[in-house]
Amino acid sequence: MKWLAFISFIFLFSFAISRDLKRSARDAEHKSEIVHRFNDLKEEAFKGAGLITFAQYLYKCPYEEIAKLVKNVVDLAHKCVANEQDPECLKPVPTIVLDEICKIDMLGEAYGEMAKCCSKADPERNQCFLSFKHSVPGFLPPYQRPEPDVMCKTFQENKESFMAHHIYEVSRRHPFLYAPTILALAVDVEHVIEHCCKEANASVCLGGKLPPIKERVLLLSKKNTYDCGILKKFGERTFQADTLAIISQKFPKASFPEISKIVKEITHLHVECCAGDMIECTDDRAEIVNYICSKQDVFSSKIKDCCEKPVVERSECVVRAEFDDTPEGLPLLAKKYVEDKDVCQHFTAEHDVFLAEFLYEYSRRHHEFSTQMLLRIAKGYESLLEECCKKESASECYSHAEETLRSHIQETQEVVKTNCDLLASLGEHDFQKAILVRYTRKMPQVSPETLIEISKKMAAVGSKCCQQTEARRIPCTEGYLSMVIQGMCRRQEAMPINEKVTHCCDDSYADRRPCFTKLGVDESYKPPQFTPELFTFHEDLCTAPAETQHIKQLTFLANLIKLKPTVTDEQLRKIYTDFTGMVEKCCKAEQHEACFGVEGPKLITESQALLAR
């Protein structure tokens, strides 16, 4: 997307000097990167980040083997502190980590094809190892927490060992969860156990305080996996644009140059974290947060308490901090970007800077918008100026910018309101059915199981976000829907669905959600022949657990639409009502199976006749 080009220039220009100076200062002090990281993080955090790195790559390895690898790297760091000129000390930290992995004798036996990565040179070796990281949860069984009395006893006997094992178990199950987050949440766990194990009823205390931390681990693991997926799919420019929008919202009183500096650094940080370089990831996030904390008066009034915390807790606290208040008395955007007669002159001469500042200014004034929506507005403004600045009456043309941009705002507001109203009137189960109908029509090639999973996630987004305040409803909805869509698109890459879905997934990050919203019935789809075997009804429709019965009903609905995606809502309602009526009748009958044997074929015949119209 051409409009994103402006991001790259301004960030490179504004921060290349400061980053180069910082690196030059480091190089003057330390030739060895491992020494720099070790001195920055101190031994405990360095070991923690190393443990996370190895456990995320080698999820099958027992803790004891991972601990040996960590010890080897820590021992090397100590050696390098004493002698930085040693050739081993001059290697980048990721190379040192992968060298250790490649020394494992049984790597091929344990990990198969992954062992072949060792034959490659960096950075290809690193990319090869990354490709074997699992991006879908569930490849390991959930961690079984010890009984409270065992947990307290083990923790009190050797807190360091207990916490190291905890970090290992979390890391191996969440290969894209960033190390600074794992370390910060581990501190939360440590504080909870310390507190609860002193309570009279430790079991109740732990049972109340640990699950919310686990939920946060799961959420942030999905978020970091999503971030890495977007970075890989759309590249650094798109990621920087998205980051510029959110950081401008979070720190609205900071100047554009200051925001530009940290956005460039944050983007680089994500590149490191997504590359599996968790030692640099941890160190660089600490540096960014320390910089922000050193300029609290510039950035935010909401981070004072965060900045007083120890380094590991400080970074996660600043990340979680709420948006600062928008400064009072900001001039109207229209004055500079709509009413100024020299807009085209600025747009032409300072294209990249001009548009980056527009995104910054719009974002800091609108906390209630999602970042994707803000990117759509910036893209719309650029398209308008490209058209208007070719005309003689340019100022008259772009004087209507506010009305043009309002269309992007209204589309999102209407979609969110319509769906929240529908959820309120239907309830979550029936709301899920409505979503299932929509998406089965859009992509009937997808299996009922996957369509049901997608519709369930989307319905859950509605339940979570529609109860938010008006100011948070759109960011919540588009933020979580973007994660659901990313999961859908990741599947589409492995197994293409149809051309329209491919277009929505690949064309534009900012436009993904509106693209899917606008998708109609897939005309290229060739439905299967209607055969009675597609629909079988048995007594498990009466006896199975409620959730299983719900899934069976949804499966019937999806399979029905797959036979005729153009089926009208009225026809669909008639068949589904007849289906639920049949289930109700047969579940009241003494012989469930016999009833389904009679009523099922009737329903199939009637449905086939209705679909044939």
Binding residues for Zn(2+): 277
* HSE-CB of 210 using CA atoms within 13 angstroms: 22
* Under 8 Å between Cβ of 364 and 374: no
Which residues make up each annotated binding site? 30, 33, 40, 272, 277, 280, 283
Rounded-to-integer distance, Cα 146 and Cα 156, Å? 14
Which residues make up each annotated binding site for Ca(2+)? 30, 33, 40, 272, 277, 280, 283
* Under 8 Å between Cβ of 89 and 35: yes
User: Would you call the peptide bond into 123 cis, given omega within 30 degrees of 0 as the criterion?
Assistant: yes
The pair of structure tokens assigned to 473 is 């409803």
E strand or H helix at 552, and its extent?
helix 546-563
DSSP 97-128: HHHHHHT-TTHHHHHGGGGGGGGSPTTHHHHH
Best CA proximity match to 62, nearest among 168, 148, 178:
168
Burial string for 496-529 (b: 16+ CB within 10 Å, else e) reads ebbebbeebbeebbbbbbbbbeebebbeebeeee
Q: Which spans in 158-255 are helix H?
A: 159-173, 179-196, 202-250
Q: Is 201 helix (H, G, I), strand (E, B) or coil?
A: coil
* Under 8 Å between Cβ of 353 and 10: yes
Q: Which phi and psi angles does 214 have, rounded to 5°?
A: -60, -45
Rounded-to-integer distance, Cα 379 and Cα 509, Å? 11
Residue at 189: amino acid letter: V
Q: Which spans in 368-506 are helix H?
A: 371-388, 394-398, 401-426, 428-442, 448-465, 470-494, 499-506
Best CA proximity match to 322, nearest among 338, 306, 337:
306
The pair of structure tokens assigned to 168 is 């290992």
Chain-centroid distance, C-alpha 364: 22
